[in-house]
Structure 1
Amino acid sequence: MKQESDTVNQSVSEAPAQQAFRSYAAPLVDRATALAKGVRDDASPEALHKLRVSLRRLRSLWWAFAPLVDKGENTRQRAVYKFLATAAGKTRDWDILIDLLGQDDSDAQALMPKLEQARRDTLATSRATLVNADVKHLLRDALATTSAELHAAHEPGIALRKFAAQRIGASERSLKKRIKRASRAKRSNYAAFHDVRKAGKKLRYLFEFFGPVLQGGHKRTLKRLKKIQKRFGMLNDAVASEALLRDNAASLADADHIEAALDWLDRKRKRRLRAASQLLG
């Protein structure tokens, strides 16, 4: 059975990358479509998080195949995925802020009723955006357009294994560049740390997509990427929550409660920044 499986994997890895696109994209489109539909009935933090992750994976897959398709159309479709992920993410941002401040037993607890109301208001807007965007047709149109373009390509196709190695290599170089930049940056330069998180997430998705057709094992790399994603994700949660609270301070509560919450988030951000920085060495 193993020999038969190896033969199948060999056949797939040597097939043109253009032919493989739909086998990667179609299940992701189906999952994102189902999750978007489900958000209408399930407004839980986990449902919104799954939708945002699914859309980010789609965006990463389209980035992976960008060299094989029209640049302008690929950029437009990736922008659509980013827009939809942002719509789902706005409510998720309130969930993260509420969860973080729920760990604080100071005056920040007085903010909870207004934070919960802000979350409900944002959810209504997110739902309306996703419904009006007609996610199902947007995603299926993108799949059909890109699949048709790749199918119509007249040039001999590059083997999937070689193509996957090239794209993962490009993503790895991007991550190393951003790690180097962040290691030299001041700790107040959060953008440099955020770039590491995004680059690490993209590379992890590519390994998850293409790992089975690549030669050699990648468990060590994936383990490090997961650690980067976790620590830098926790840092991003603190930074984004602090910014969200500042941006909405006027409508939430009195100045004393806001300042207490911001002070607590500031300490949390600094601790998480130190933890994230340890992975840059």
Structure 2
Amino acid sequence: MRLSGAHRTPARRTVSAVIAAGAVLGLAGTSVGTASAVAPAHPARPDSPVIGGTEKPVGSYPFMAALLAKGRGNPHDRQFCGGSLLDPYVVMTAAHCVVDTRPKQLETVVGRTVLSKRNQGHLRNVTDIVVHPRYARGQEAYDIAFLMLDKPVTGTAPVNLPTAGTDALIRPGSKATVIGWGNTDTEVPDYPDRLRAVDVPVVSHIECKASYPGYDKKVNVCAGVEGRDSCQGDSGGPMFRKLPGRRGVYQTGIVSYGDGCAAQGAPGVYTYTGSAKLWDTLSESAAGRKVKRLLGR
């Protein structure tokens, strides 16, 4: 997946192509839908897909969403972050993907496996962007945002979330899956058109803190090992698990940042979707309270 950056300033896993797209569309310097956000301190990472992953068949992960800069070009070239269907009207992504962006400047497609295949999935306009209020005030650990869609995505099961305040699904050593269209090569950036997936081990909070001094175990979780990781272009996408006897998937993380991609001792950092603190503090803004009511949380 798409990651880069120095150890002390780990970079967000966004696609560098969005910088060029943003220049054309005027993304820089605009306001976020319902929150006054600040730009993240971590620089955007150059383009690249899931490291160590494999291509997936069409329809493998119908809840997966791609964030696209609005325009007429090839969707593969306009994709800059991932997301997941959380409700028929809501796509969940990373805050750093959409901070300082207006809803009319992007669109999202849910259920598409090959980005360039316009006949796949459900294309939706975005009517509002809700950034976590703490991220908007500069607390980068709260890297989560919600895109409100103009029409519902029907016939597709949204992701499930862990019970707030629990940690059973992020036991160190357990395996989770990450999917995205991010960079697949740490030497020569290569962004795939087809969705890829990789299984990664969850890393303990102690080990992650050793790699990232600013890591917040209350709202973050780490995963990855040398050769298997997310990378640039995977930002905002889901990390999830399938549980025996249960339908659908449980999303445990949102791709956030990391030091390079798939490097030894530098796992990827994810916003933990089971964090009680993450959801409790979402109520600190009126827009956040609206999202919680909509989701029944």
Name the TM-score class by shorter chain: under 0.3
Question: Greater CA radius of gyration, 1 or 2?
Answer: 1
Give 1 or 2: higher helix fraction. 1
Normalising by structure 1, we get a TM-score of 0.23
Normalising by structure 2, we get a TM-score of 0.22
